[in-house]
Amino acid sequence: YGYSNPMRRASEMPHVAGIVQVGLRGVGSARLTEIEAARRYGSRFVTAREVHAQGVEAALRHIPEGARIVVTLDCDGLDPGIMPGVAARTPGGPTYTQVIDLIAGLGRRARIAGFDLVELYPPADIDGLSALTAARLLVNVIGTIVRQI
């Protein structure tokens, strides 16, 4: 049990076929045995370095064509230069452009059945940058979903 607990619990649900986690820069509270268990449950990990080097296709190739997906956007996953209002700032995360490209790519490849934005921590925000970034990301997601209808 730790920060990666929600994904582990989701992986145990019978209707979850797989999980793709994008933008990782460290393992956080997970131990090697938990990472191995996640892989056995069908999780795929795409590091931030992979996204920077290969583009969002590094993540999109793990999404089955036509799949119904739920997207959880963890604000801690973005680079703190664009999302400082989080509890655990870690440099090197995906950029704003990479995230909106990922959202658009998901919309073309799969059906977005649900979306949530988590881990925004307003007391740590700087000049409202995180709130503005989060709002713009939400607008992009809404636009992507509307285009799927």
| Tokens representing residue 97 in the block | 């452009």
Domains in the chain, number: 1
Residue 149 lies in a domain: no
Q: Please give the DSSP secondary-structure letter assigned to residue 12.
A: T
Reading phi first (left if > 0) and then psi (alpha if -120 to 50, else beta), residue 127 is in left
Q: How many CA atoms lie within 13 A of 88 on its CB side?
A: 13
pLDDT tens profile 56-85 = 999 999 999 999 999 999 999 999 999 999
Q: C-alpha 137: how far from its chain's center?
A: 12
CATH number at residue 31: 3.40.800.10
Q: Please give the DSSP secondary-structure letter assigned to residue 25.
A: -
Residue 71 lies in a domain: yes
Look at residue 143 and tell me whether its pLDDT is greater than 70: yes
What is the mean pLDDT of the segment spanning 4-22? 81
Predicted pLDDT of residue 104 = 97
